[in-house]
Structures are given as structure tokens and as C-alpha cells.
Amino acid sequence: MTESITITDNRTGESVEIPILNGGVDSGGWAKLLGNVWFSDDAFSHTAIGESSITQIVGAEGILRYRGYPIEQLALRSTYLEVAYLLLFGELPTPDQFDGWRDEITHHTYIHENFRKRFMESFRYDAHPMGVLVSSLAALSTYYPEAKDIEDPEVRMRQIVRLIAKVPTMAAAAHRFSIGMPFVYPDNDLDFTSNFLSMMFRVAEPRYHCHPAVRRALEILFILHADHSQNCSTTTARVVGSAHADPYSVVAAACAALYGPRHGGANEAVLAMLRDIGSYENVDPFIADVKAGKCRLMGFGHRVYKNYDPRARIIKEAADEVFQLAGRSPLLDIALKLEEVALADEYFISRRLYPNVDFYSGLIYEALKFPTNMFTVLFAIPRTAGWLAHWSEMLERSSRISRPRQLYVGHPERDYVPMAERTPSA
């Protein structure tokens, strides 16, 4: 059996054989045989945007690996900064490499005072932190005009370091502004995750001290959210990056995509859903509404995973440790009941709908005292590394500008009609 496909144009009887390589077939053979006949694939469900060596997902088996390392091992043994290094450079760092990487990130955590005071704090008092973050990322490009020189690897790396280092500071600044608390400057004696917690929660104490279990739980969540191949926001990063926009604009676009409730906004939507359900007794009626198409079970389903999202399993385990510390959330029982009912119900089984990364993450964030409007921001912080790793990989592979075709189904040519002669169209 040859690893190839053959397509035939029945209008001419001509055929072309195309090899199956790395799990895909190249469009070149199609284009050669079929010229201006486009392959139509709504929402890119069956289309590969290109080759990547960063993250592998095997959806049917619930497998997720960063540069070949299983997510279960990284969540258990690594840190977010080490995983960010792995995603960007392709290998786990040596001690010297990690020390250099950590120092680079640590010494770029500050944001320009004017940028914070005059731009970030110019929003309404109740502005959603994601709206502030998306806007601020785009605005940050105006502070680093050199970033447009995306052909220069050193310039690219300087912006990558700045973005990974500054996004937590910007995220925390947006939160503090939204609750009327003073901005907390980065504490460069703290590790990446502790520093973020300090900028979020420090009040008047001279130095913020977080419980090791809290820091570890957030570290695991950052690792799990760092990358996920061609998800909507990462594909957005690659598409915008293919126009050779600067990396701040690229990450702002990706962050805007993540904001959607079908994507990164789902963790916030899950909490709202659990609160709306309100009690154990309401679970069955809610599931009936989902099956009737009245609403979706947020935190369930995935374009790629047709099995349990491995991240959801890890988060569920991490949740137990956090709840032992912070107290068990009453919403957890509703979530567990929802999962139990859904996984036994033909509607979900037949559609291969399982809990995804967002189903339990919000419960942990709530137990860690993060406000709900920060949940998607907590997704954006670690995913910045994934967006930038894919942006770099795309530029290094010298890809062309992303510009898909369409199937035009609109009006054929027609002549202009003067205003006076027009009748209301159906």
C-alpha cells in the first residue's frame, strides 16, 4: 500500500497522485490538476496551516506533548519559564541556559510609567481586564518601534523577552486598576509566578509571601496553557504575523481571538454557567436544555480532542490540592455532577464531547481568589509563549502571507440602479 492519494478530475479524466507526508497531503498537486477549483473547508476543520515542530496533539488518544515531552511530565516536574524556553528554543535548558533566560525575563518585567499611567489607566474604572490587555498589547508596539524589524533575529528575541516578561505586569496592572488598588511594581527577587501573584495581591506588606501550594497550582495552570498547536488564537498569530506585522500587534490580535467565549473566554463562561445552574437539582434540567440546543455546556467539547482533554484531568487533580487549602467550592459538586451526567448521556457520547481545559480551571482560579473577569487573562499570560513560539517558527520557515480563497456565491454582475428607481429588496 503506497502512502499516497490519487485525485481525478472527471471533466478531463486527468489524475494526480499526491504522497501523504507527515499526516497530510500538499495542496500543490491539487492546484496543478485543478487550477481554479478551491478546496473548501469551513473553519479549517480539515486543513493544516503548515508544518510545526512545537506541539503535538493526538486528539483521539488525548495526547499532548510540547517538543515531544508529555504534558503530564512537564506539569509534574517543570516550571512555566522552563516550558516557555522549551517551546521557543526546542530543547529543555541547561542550568546556565535557564539562569540566563530567567535573568533576561526578570529584568524586563517593568512597563513604562507613562504607558501605565496615561494609557492603561485611561480606561473606564470597570473596564474588563481582557479588553485592557488586548488594547495595551497593541499600544505597547508604539514604545518599541524597532520591533518592526522582524527580519532581525536579535530584534525578534528582544521583543519576545519583553512580551513574556511584561504581560504578567500588564495583566496585574489591569486588575489592580479595576479594583481601585495601587499598582504593585515587579519584585525581581521573586520567581515568575510568585512575582505575578505579588503584583496581583500584595497590599501593604513589604514583601508578598504566597503559599507554596498556591504558587505550584498556578505554575501547573501556566504550563498547561502555554501552547496548544493551531488553536484559534495561535492561528490568528500566524496569520497576522505572516503580514510581517510587529510581534506586539501579533500578540494583541491573538489575545483578541482568545477573548471569545468559544475559546479562552470559556473558563469565565463556565463559572457563570455553574452559578446559573446554582444547585445539584438543576443539573438535569440544564442538561436537557443543552440537548435541546438552547445552550452549550461550556468547558465541554473540543475541535481536536475527541477524548478527555489531558489538561482537564491534570487540572482536576490539582484542584483537589487547592480545595484542601482554600476550602471546597460548592460549584465543584455541580461541575462533577455535570461531568458525570454528560459522560453517560448519548448526546455527548455520540458527539464525543468531553471536559476540556476550561471546565475545571475556573474553579481553581476562583479558589485562588482571582476574580472571574481575570480568568481569560490568566490564559493569555502563559499562552504568550506559545503564540511567540509559533510566530518565530513561521518566520524562520519564511512562510508566505496567509491569504485563503473563497467560494463566491453572491450576485452575478448587475447594473447600478438610481435611488429613485429602487424597490425594497426581499
State the maximum Cα–Cα separation within the chain, in Å, rounded to a whole number. 78
List the interface residues with ligand SDX, window 152-171 (CB under 6 A): none
Q: Should residue 71 be labelled a site residue for ligand SDX when binding is judged by CB under 6 A?
A: no
119 grid coordinates: 494609557
Helices and strands, number each (H, E), in the chain: 18, 6
Closest chain position to ligand SDX (CB)? 301
Q: Should residue 353 be labelled a site residue for ligand SDX when binding is judged by CB under 6 A?
A: yes
Q: Should residue 216 be labelled a site residue for ligand SDX when binding is judged by CB under 6 A?
A: no
Helix (H) or strand (E) holding 132: helix 129-140
Within a 10 A sphere around the Cβ of 124, how many other Cβ atoms? Answer: 9
Q: Should residue 299 be labelled a site residue for ligand SDX when binding is judged by CB under 6 A?
A: yes
What angle is formed at CA 240 by the lines to CA 408 and CA 404, rounded to 5 degrees?
Answer: 25
71 CB-side CA count, 13 A? 26
Q: Answer yes or no: are the C-beta atoms of 397 and 353 closer than 8 Å.
A: no
Q: Should residue 64 be labelled a site residue for ligand SDX when binding is judged by CB under 6 A?
A: no
Instruction: Give me the catalytic one of 187, 263, 333, 345.
Output: 263
Instruction: Give me the catalytic one of 228, 246, 358, 390.
Output: 358
User: In the bound complex, what is the minimum distance in angstroms from residue 152's beta carbon to ligand SDX?
Assistant: 29
The reply to whether 209 belongs to the active site is no
Within a 10 A sphere around the Cβ of 410, how many other Cβ atoms? Answer: 5
Whole-number Å distance between alpha carbons of 180 and 109: 22
Residue partners of 410: CB distance under 8 A and separation at least 6: none
User: In the bound complex, what is the minimum distance in angstroms from residue 69's beta carbon to ligand SDX?
Assistant: 17
The reply to whether 358 belongs to the active site is yes
The radius of gyration of the chain from alpha carbons, rounded to an integer in Å, stands at: 24
Q: Should residue 290 be labelled a site residue for ligand SDX when binding is judged by CB under 6 A?
A: yes
List the interface residues with ligand SDX, window 260-279 (CB under 6 A): 262-263, 266
Q: Which of 141, 194, 231, 329 binds ligand SDX (CB under 6 A)?
A: 231
The reply to whether 289 belongs to the active site is no
User: In the bound complex, what is the minimum distance in angstroms from residue 133's beta carbon to ligand SDX?
Assistant: 17
Q: Which of 160, 271, 297, 395 binds ligand SDX (CB under 6 A)?
A: 297
CA 75 to chain CA mean position, Å: 17
Q: Should residue 300 be labelled a site residue for ligand SDX when binding is judged by CB under 6 A?
A: yes
Q: Should residue 365 be labelled a site residue for ligand SDX when binding is judged by CB under 6 A?
A: no
Cβ distance to ligand SDX smaller for residue 249 or 361: 361
Q: Should residue 296 be labelled a site residue for ligand SDX when binding is judged by CB under 6 A?
A: yes
Q: Should residue 301 be labelled a site residue for ligand SDX when binding is judged by CB under 6 A?
A: yes
96 grid coordinates: 546556565
61 CB-side CA count, 13 A? 7
Q: Should residue 228 be labelled a site residue for ligand SDX when binding is judged by CB under 6 A?
A: yes
What's the residue count for the chain? 426
User: In the bound complex, what is the minimum distance in angstroms from residue 175's beta carbon to ligand SDX?
Assistant: 22
Active site residues: 263, 302, 358
- Please report, as ranges, the residues that interact with ligand SDX according to CB under 6 A: 228, 231, 262-263, 266, 290, 296-303, 351, 353, 356-358
